[in-house]
């Protein structure tokens, strides 16, 4: 489905993998697509995001805070302390190795499993195509990926953007304006 992607949109998809790798996340989700859109210089999506005051470092910090360590801390469990106690007896990395393979890496986000897109990210890329078609565009650019992320209502990427004040309708208006200016 990538044949209609612009070079920049392809770069965003590739960067999403880099973003996931950097965070040690084994699966690419919509949040990594958002980080990739924020990392790619130029392009319509980046312009819209910059205009909305959404910046890479802050969103990345929010994604990182969504890790299990933070979730466990919210109920008073110190994952680092649990790990230290386990490693004292069973050696370094013992807890990571004990994590069931099918879940591999979620607990500590350090899996060596091949990176792949989760269902939300796949659906988002499909929605990007649909958004492009509805706008009568014969290509998929970064702006369509951005709109796809926002259209996928259950994805964490869309939530991150909505929490920062960017709605689907708002983004669509900004994308249309940017395309008008470019024309």
CA distances in angstroms from 75 to 67, 69, 79, 107, 156, listed in the order given: 14, 10, 11, 16, 22
Q: Does 80 bind another protein (CB under 8 A)?
A: no
CA distances in angstroms from 177 to 34, 98, 143, listed in the order given: 21, 52, 12
Q: Does 68 bind another protein (CB under 8 A)?
A: yes
CB of 176 to another protein, least distance (A): 32
Query: Which of 14, 103, 154, 176 lies at the binding interface for another protein (CB under 8 A)?
Result: 103
> Using CB under 8 A, which of the segments 82-90, 118-126, 134-142, 171-179 binds another protein?
82-90
Are 130 and 145 in contact by the 8 Å Cβ rule? The answer is no
CB of 51 to another protein, least distance (A): 28
Distance CA(148)–CA(128), nearest Å, equals: 4
Q: Does 97 bind another protein (CB under 8 A)?
A: yes
Q: What is the DSSP letter of 28?
A: E
Longest CA–CA span in the chain (Å) reads 66
Q: Does 75 bind another protein (CB under 8 A)?
A: yes
Query: Which of 72, 135, 177, 179 lies at the binding interface for another protein (CB under 8 A)?
Result: 72
Q: Does 62 bind another protein (CB under 8 A)?
A: no
> Using CB under 8 A, which of the segments 8-16, 96-104, 119-127, 131-139 binds another protein?
96-104
The token pair at 140 is 């998929």
The helix/strand/coil state of 29 is coil
Closer to another protein at the Cβ: 39 or 95? Answer: 95
Q: Does 163 bind another protein (CB under 8 A)?
A: no
Closer to another protein at the Cβ: 87 or 126? Answer: 87
Distance CA(58)–CA(175), nearest Å, equals: 23
H or E element that contains 117 = strand 116-117
Closest alpha carbon to 95 in 33, 17, 67, 105: 105
Query: What does the binding site for another protein look like in residue numbers (CB under 8 A)?
Result: 66, 68-69, 71-77, 79, 82, 86-87, 90-92, 94-100, 103, 106-107
């Amino acid at each position: 489905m990538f044949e209609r992607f612009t070079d920049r949109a392809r770069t965003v998809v590739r960067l999403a993998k880099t973003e996931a790798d950097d965070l040690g996340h084994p699966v690419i989700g919509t949040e990594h697509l958002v980080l990739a859109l924020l990392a790619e210089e130029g392009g319509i999506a980046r312009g819209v995001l910059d205009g909305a005051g959404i910046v890479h470092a802050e969103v990345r910090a929010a994604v990182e805070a969504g890790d299990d360590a933070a979730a466990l801390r919210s109920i008073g469990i110190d994952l680092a302390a649990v790990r230290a106690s386990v490693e004292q007896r069973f050696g370094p990395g013992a807890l990571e190795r004990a994590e069931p393979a099918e879940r591999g890496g979620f607990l500590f986000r350090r899996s060596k499993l091949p990176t792949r897109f989760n269902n939300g990210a796949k659906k988002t890329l499909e929605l990007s195509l649909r958004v492009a078609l509805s706008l009568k565009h014969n290509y998929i650019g970064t702006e369509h990926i951005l709109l796809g992320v926002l259209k996928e209502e259950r994805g964490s990427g869309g939530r991150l953007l909505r929490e920062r004040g960017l709605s689907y309708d708002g983004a669509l208006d900004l994308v249309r304006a940017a395309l008008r200016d470019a024309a």
